[in-house]
Structure 1
Amino acid sequence: AHATPTRLAPDAIPPDHDIDRAMAHLRLLSTIIGPRVSGSAEARETVAYIADILRGYGYAVEVMEFDYATRFRLATVTVGGETIDGIALNGEATGARSAEGIAHDDRLQEAMAPAGAISIRERGSNDPGDGLLYMSAARAEAAGLIIVNRERWGLWGFPIPVRDAIPVVLVPQSEGERLAQAARDGATIRLTIGPARPMAANVIARPAPEAQCDIIAGGHHDTTPASPGALDNASGVAIVLELARVFAADGLDEGLCFATFGAEESGLFGSAALAQRWAAAGELPEFMMNFDVTARGEAVEVIGTPTLVAGAVERLKDAGIAAFASSLPPGYGSDHASFVQVGVPVIFLSDGDVSLIHSPADVFDEVEPEAVDRIGDAGALILQALLAEIAGGP
């Protein structure tokens, strides 16, 4: 049973959230590792980094692996010994596979691509046109198809629902000229597409190996393709890691756990896997706190269970932190929703600015440290109040 979320304990004094430490995590994730699409080597590097940091703070760390149906099926184009990262548009019916052939740029060369070539084409004005490009290449008996995106970003599309389709890879607009030169040179290109159900991972930190998590505070560590994800969501992960440190500084708090989630950008798969596992085991937490897009603006947007939101906004304002109750824009979601679905009260802290997310413009230079610090301080205050409420009992 969950505690009835009516208020936050009034006497909680939060530990100090160190913005310099948080910014160091944020910089590493977004500039050294960069885009962290679940299933990629960069995502695995991210998981290892987070797990090592949390172990260093004294937590018992679990790396929870799961597979999922990805929106962003990873693919590579290899030309001249160099690799271009892209997204496979093959549907789930098509297994992992590769193809090799001479580059033929249908945008430049008048003759039809010879059978066995790798056809290079430009995306039309809408994603459903990808299927038409596929059918044309397949009729020409191409070995594979590269579609060059027309936009600077938006590197996703509608999977082509054809079993045993030739590999179809969508690449960024910025790679168009390199591929055109490969065709002029008659170079060989190799396409490789990954599995339709890749593996991803959550990182869960408990005060002890078998500890019950009364409170789980977390945020997702993955990104969309081609996005460094400084705002979305290296900022949230940085706050989670720094809160884990400050709450461990005077001894680990019983019942307080931290987590980062994989595959959020593909559909909240990581948080859903954890929430459903805990629900099946009868081990749901009393509260969940989510941090997502936490690096810009002048105030903290508080989303979630209405009574918790009202109490949190009041506490933050009393502490001199600008905050207000809010909701997500239409079409957006985050990991708190996975816990709402299993009946856990939630608080979600954000800056509410989605103007740069899911794009190459989501970079470290767009981060406002004072906003990260504000939301980190808000998280510390609310977590301390939730701990005090649980300790106080019903």
Structure 2
Amino acid sequence: MTTANTTGTAMLAEGLRAEATIDLAALRGNIASLRERVPSAALMAVVKADAYGHGALPCALEALAAGVRWLGATTPEEALALRAAGIAPEQARVLCWLWTPGGPWAQALRADIDVSISGQWALDELLDAVRATGIPARVHLKADTGLGRNGCQPHDWPDLVDAALRAQAAGQLEVVGLWSHFAAADEPGHPSIRAQQEAFAAALAYAERAGVRPEVRHLANSPATLLLPQTHYDLVRTGLSMYGLSPVPEVASPADFGLRPVMSLSARLALVKQVPGGHGVSYGHQYTTPGDTTLGLVPVGYADGIPRHASGTGPVQIGGKWRTVAGRVAMDQFVVDLGGDMPEVGEEVLLFGNGERGEPMAEDWARACGTISYEIVTRLGSRVPRRYVGGSGALG
């Protein structure tokens, strides 16, 4: 990881095969835009999956510098890593929501991590850890309001709430949160949205009648934060939108929401050569040159996170012109047909960025691959170094 206190989209550093530039000033700007949309609720910076490929610790520290006081992590290991890196409880609450039997409950308690509970088995294991450590837990009870993944089903909700309240009365835990997650908030008008809102309201009503007085109620993810103000409650969980990508690209672009993509990905041409017409390109010869042309070799592949599904479709910008992946993406490299142009070896190839130089954006890659921009940025591998620009100084 390298850092630089500059702003804007950075050029690829000298001597590197490829690099992802992370614009921390854009991250802070996105947080400011999102907070304007939710003036009555707190904002959770979701830094799971290495902050969607952007780097969990740098992004968490910038979020804290921007005034955020909640961090979200999926796995206990992610949450514990944030604490181990020095993010103290007085700086931010850290919520971890995906547990499996035998998980590091005791370590989480010692690290003062908020724990999500979706079923009785998890509550039982947590309470065993509470008794072993003598440390009361901070618990968020999760209701399954229709997503069908994690969360407690409505018919089991009363028993889970009542069991948690008994443990609270015994001083073993505090129920600090009640929450759920949308299935289709990124599809405006989907019938599940209203159904889940009603189910969440019913879950809240039961818990509050039973005596739960939560610190935070939270339902809204990024699309709900942007499109469904009635779901904001006390806390919104912003992931993709914080990194400047639109969770609803069919509805609005990042700029429409006042957001700016944080990550740019670039590489250097490793080879430029002239070939005749009818020349096969890459494995399987799925692409054959239509005539005399030039080929450029881009030294990144699916081992770096470039989707193999981008074969024949992925867009890049070289010398101000858009080009398309020619043939199959290989493990370490792919080829573009330069149409007779002869750029210098070493010239920058912009795979995606914020669009300010006319380059493709992550959403363009998502469309080319038949996927979502979440996958494009999160799959970027560790072989691609991250360079941080525009920092506030929080990284040191």
Length-normalised TM-score, structure 1: 0.29
| Higher relative contact order (Cα pairs below 8 Å, separated by 6+ residues) | 1
Length-normalised TM-score, structure 2: 0.29
